[in-house]
Amino acid sequence: MAKNNKERPEWAVTRGRASRWEKEQQRQQIILISVSAVIVLVLGLVGYAFYDHAQSQNEEDHETILKVNDRSFDLGDYVKLLRFAGISQYTSSYHADFAQYIFNAMQSQEMIRQLALTLGLGVTEAEIDANIEEQFAPPEASENSSEQTPDATLTPTPTASYNTLLKQLKSIGISEKFYRQQISLNILQEKVRDYIGEKDVAKEMPQARVQGILIDVKAAVTEINSVSITAEEGQVEEPTVSPGNEDPEKVRETIKARLASGEDFSALAEESSTDTPSRVSGGDLGWLPGDISIAKYGESFKEATFSLELGALSKPIPASTSADNTDYWIIQVLEREDSRLVEEAQRDQLINASFNAWFEEQSKTFTVTDLLSAELKTLAIQKALQ
């Protein structure tokens, strides 16, 4: 009997078909694996590029640019300080000079910090908080007030919101911790300054009360417009001048003769002095300690104030501020005291001078290594402006 061969359906997988199907699957798997490998490779290269760039940026930020004794500062520190100081508010033509100024300030701040340690001076968190409260409105007032859009300036005002400033700082990569550190350094500098001032500058010292007329022998004043100060303008009208005698002694003799004839020194000063601030008050220069006399008018002026007889007219004294050596002071000493309380503004000026002299001397004891090249400075500026 013949065998009954059953027909196989079209979908049945024969041995030949199975072989072809398996080969097709293998080819597709190879293609898929190859494509996947390419994608992984591309993504890996892109990722590595970003990582390499980030690492490069990170390495740049950690490059040392300054050493003050054993304390090092890197490029990242410098960039933060440039941003904090507001380099973006200046024109590009001033960026290099501004960056150098900030670099010098960073060095000076670190010197003062280290000097403060030797003096036993420091700053507490409470002092930082108090300083912030002086500059900004209380937090309650800031939170209740409507939120204002941060502007370009980081200068605080009495009604400014501390939280608003923190947002401004955060937007340029500056943390609150960094901001508080800068406040601490400022407070510390004031403490060191006051410490030196209290030690070196007396509260009372010899002083003389002086009147003066400043003359320019190449343009001696021969006539003057009426002097008037109005609330609206707040300006003093300058005198009309004409060429005068180039011999200061002859000018002094003229003043002396007019005083002898009964004219008042104050009136002559208002008429003839070329020093506007004192002219409007009749030449009154106020009470002057010796060091203030030197700082404002020169050593010869100071010597005259403490050697002249009261009411006597001085010889012409060359003005220390004269650029062309044609300005001279003619002065009278009205009063003199061996010990008189120094005015607050004058003592503040003397303390600043004493502190600056002390700091300049102390700076010589530091080991400072400047590693800021022109290229690194340019890079720091670019980063600070990003």
Q: Which amino acid is at 43?
A: L
Q: How confident is the model at residue 23 (pLDDT cuts 50, 70, 90)?
A: low
Looking at residue 9, the DSSP 8-state letter turns out to be: P
pLDDT digits (tens, 9 = 90+) for 151-204: 444 444 444 588 888 998 999 999 999 999 999 999 999 999 999 999 999 999
Task: Specify which residues 331 forms β-bridges with.
Answer: 212
What tokens were used for 8? Answer: 């196989």
Q: How confident is the model at residue 267 (pLDDT cuts 50, 70, 90)?
A: very high
**Cα torsion at 281, 283, 285, 287 (round to 10°)?**
-90
pLDDT, residue 220, reads: 53
pLDDT, residue 29, reads: 61
DSSP calls for 186-234: HHHHHHHHHHHHHHHS-SEEEEEEEEEEEEETTS-----PPP---TTT-
Among 24-33, 293-302, 305-314, whose mean pLDDT is lowest? 24-33
| Contact present, 107 and 68 (Cβ < 8 Å) | yes
H or E element, residue 111: helix 95-119
pLDDT, residue 263, reads: 93
pLDDT, residue 163, reads: 87
Residue 212 three-state SS: strand
pLDDT digits (tens, 9 = 90+) for 327-357: 999 999 999 999 999 999 999 999 999 999 9
For the segment 210-217, the average pLDDT, to the nearest whole number, is 92
pLDDT digits (tens, 9 = 90+) for 32-51: 555 454 444 444 444 444 43
Q: Which of 185, 181, 109, 106 is nearest to 370 (CA)?
A: 106
| Contact present, 160 and 109 (Cβ < 8 Å) | no
pLDDT, residue 31, reads: 52
For the segment 90-110, the average pLDDT, to the nearest whole number, is 96
Instruction: Please enumerate in sequence order all residues whose Cβ is within 8 A of that of 237, keeping only pairs 6 or more positions apart, or say none.
Output: 225, 226, 227, 228
| Contact present, 124 and 141 (Cβ < 8 Å) | no
What tokens were used for 179? Answer: 């901001």
Q: What is the mean pLDDT of the chain?
A: 80
Burial 282-296 (b: 16+ CB within 10 A, else e): bbbbebbbbbbbbbe
Alpha carbons 216 and 335: distance in angstroms, whole number? 26
pLDDT digits (tens, 9 = 90+) for 226-252: 333 344 444 545 444 443 456 889 989
pLDDT digits (tens, 9 = 90+) for 104-147: 999 999 999 999 999 999 999 999 999 998 888 554 444 444 44
For the segment 16-24, the average pLDDT, to the nearest whole number, is 56
What tokens were used for 385? Answer: 């402006």
- pLDDT greater than 70 at residue 94: yes
pLDDT, residue 348, reads: 95
Among 53-57, 201-205, 283-287, whose mean pLDDT is lowest? 53-57
Specify the pTM.
Answer: 0.68
What tokens were used for 194? Answer: 């006051």
Q: How confident is the model at residue 219 (pLDDT cuts 50, 70, 90)?
A: low
Among 9-13, 20-24, 127-131, 193-197, whose mean pLDDT is lowest? 9-13
pLDDT, residue 265, reads: 94
Q: How confident is the model at residue 15 (pLDDT cuts 50, 70, 90)?
A: low
Alpha carbons 81 and 281: distance in angstroms, whole number? 45
Alpha carbons 212 and 207: distance in angstroms, whole number? 16
pLDDT, residue 93, reads: 95
Q: Strand 204-216 to strand 317-318: parallel, antiparallel, or no bridges (unpaired)?
A: unpaired
| Contact present, 203 and 360 (Cβ < 8 Å) | no
| Contact present, 142 and 136 (Cβ < 8 Å) | yes
CA atoms within 13 A on the CB side of 10: 0
Encode 302-349 in three state secondary structure.
HHHHCCCCCCCECCCEECCCCCCCCEEEEEEEEEEEEEEECCHHHHHH
pLDDT, residue 149, reads: 39
